[in-house]
Structure 1
Amino acid sequence: MRQLYMKQKVFSLSGKFTVTDEQQQDIYFIEGSFLQIPKTFTIMDSSRKEVALITKKTFSFLPKFFVEVDGREELTIKKEFTFFKARYTIDAAGVEVRGNWWDMNFEVMKDGKVIGSVSKQWLTWGDTYEMQVLDDDMEHLIIALVVAIDCVKADEAAGAGGGASAGT
């Protein structure tokens, strides 16, 4: 099992932040596109090789985010049409998110087996997410999922006039 932490810098316009290990060493680097269409987040390993890419679909009636991991499209997060509270769905072959993913407290399952969990740390300056990775082969997917959900939340907050999250 591996513990990873993603802490975004408060009020960062560039959308750059890192994922660290338990010793606070930078393991992954995340860079968002600033004022660029389509909006993207690139996740790179310590050698700066791209391991995942999150892209917001442009010119769509309802927001939709595509997540590629290791060059393959793994999942899509899309907003459903509702009249009241915003509702999003995660579509992924064999991947399931159980728990409250909107509040960043959930388990990630692949083919019915728990591969990791995510929880938001409270009382920290900026958003800090703790990730437990139980299957090393799924590490990139879990990190990409956390970044994508955070991107969806920031997009929703910006659209509601509530301001953007720290990472956008």
Structure 2
Amino acid sequence: MRFLVRDRLLGFGDDYWIEDEHGNKVFLIDGKAMRVRDTFELKDTQGHVLIHIHQKMFALRDTMVIERGGEPLARIKRKRLSLLRNHYRVSLVDGTELDVSGKIFDREFAVEYDGELLAVVSRRWLRVRETYGVDVVRDDADPALMIAVTVCVIHLAEKERDDD
């Protein structure tokens, strides 16, 4: 399942729709401005909050927390930085770890579990400027979680770049 995200709108305090490959609105990212920590909500088309995303306070490294139904679902933080690629670790509460690696600033990266591809984020197949796609490759992968992971990784990478 492929989703379309308008990159220029991605930011703290911004609201933007994520569309499916047919142009139908599927998810709304609601950026919460005027908060002590960076906060987003992933909502369905009826406005129900599916996933709550916020920055963890008092962490040694910038960390984003994903919650579903008020319960923690995952934590995301930078794993390591090399010259060519960024690496982030997604630790799910059940002990599962996902690896996110690639060129985050170029919107060319992958989400993997145990070496198996779950989702690909790319601008390559799109002709619309300032837009990238999130292609959820596996049928058993949770699309809302893959979108949330993408939002977190991009937010962490851009925040880190701004801090430098």
Give the TM-score normalised by the residue count of structure 2.
Answer: 0.75
**Whole-angstrom distance in 2 between the partners of 1:11 and 1:104:** 12
Matched, 1:49 2:42: no
Give the superposition deviation at 1:12. Answer: 6.5
For the 8 Å contact 1:80–1:88, the answer to whether it is kept is: yes
Partner of 1:35, secondary structure, is coil
- Equivalent residue for 1:145? 149
Identical residues among aligned pairs (%): 20
Q: Per chain length, whose mean CA-contact separation is higher, i.e. which structure has more relative contact order (CA < 8 Å, sep 6+)?
A: 1
For the 8 Å contact 2:87–2:99, the answer to whether it is kept is: no
Partner of 1:145, secondary structure, is helix
**Whole-angstrom distance in 2 between the partners of 1:114 and 1:11:** 24
Go from structure 1 to structure 2 and tell me whether the alpha carbon gap of 1:100 and 1:12 turns closer, same or farther (over 3 Å shift): closer
Give the superposition deviation at 1:62. Answer: 2.8
Give the superposition deviation at 1:153. Answer: 1.9
**Whole-angstrom distance in 2 between the partners of 1:79 and 1:110:** 16
Go from structure 1 to structure 2 and tell me whether the alpha carbon gap of 1:13 and 1:74 turns closer, same or farther (over 3 Å shift): closer
- Equivalent residue for 2:65? 66
Partner of 1:144, secondary structure, is helix
Give the letter aligned to residue 141 of structure 1.
Answer: L
- Equivalent residue for 1:100? 102
Give the superposition deviation at 1:47. Answer: 1.4
- Equivalent residue for 1:19? 18
Specify every segment of 5 or more residues in structure 1 that has no aligned partner in the other structure, as ranges.
Answer: 161-168
- Equivalent residue for 2:159? 155
Give the TM-score normalised by the residue count of structure 1.
Answer: 0.73
RMSD of aligned residue pairs (Cα, Å): 3.2
Give the superposition deviation at 1:124. Answer: 4.6
Go from structure 1 to structure 2 and tell me whether the alpha carbon gap of 1:63 and 1:11 turns closer, same or farther (over 3 Å shift): closer
**Whole-angstrom distance in 2 between the partners of 1:105 and 1:71:** 31
Give the letter aligned to residue 96 of structure 1.
Answer: L
Give the letter aligned to residue 25 of structure 1.
Answer: N
> Any idea what the Cα deviations from partners look like across 1:48-78, whole Å, max 9, x if unmatched?
1111121112344431111224554332222
- Equivalent residue for 1:75? 74
**Whole-angstrom distance in 2 between the partners of 1:69 and 1:129:** 25
Specify every segment of 5 or more residues in structure 2 that has no aligned partner in the other structure, as ranges.
Answer: none
Partner of 2:142, secondary structure, is helix
Partner of 1:53, secondary structure, is strand
> Any idea what the Cα deviations from partners look like across 1:112-166, whole Å, max 9, x if unmatched?
543322213577543x221112325511111101111111122113212xxxxxx
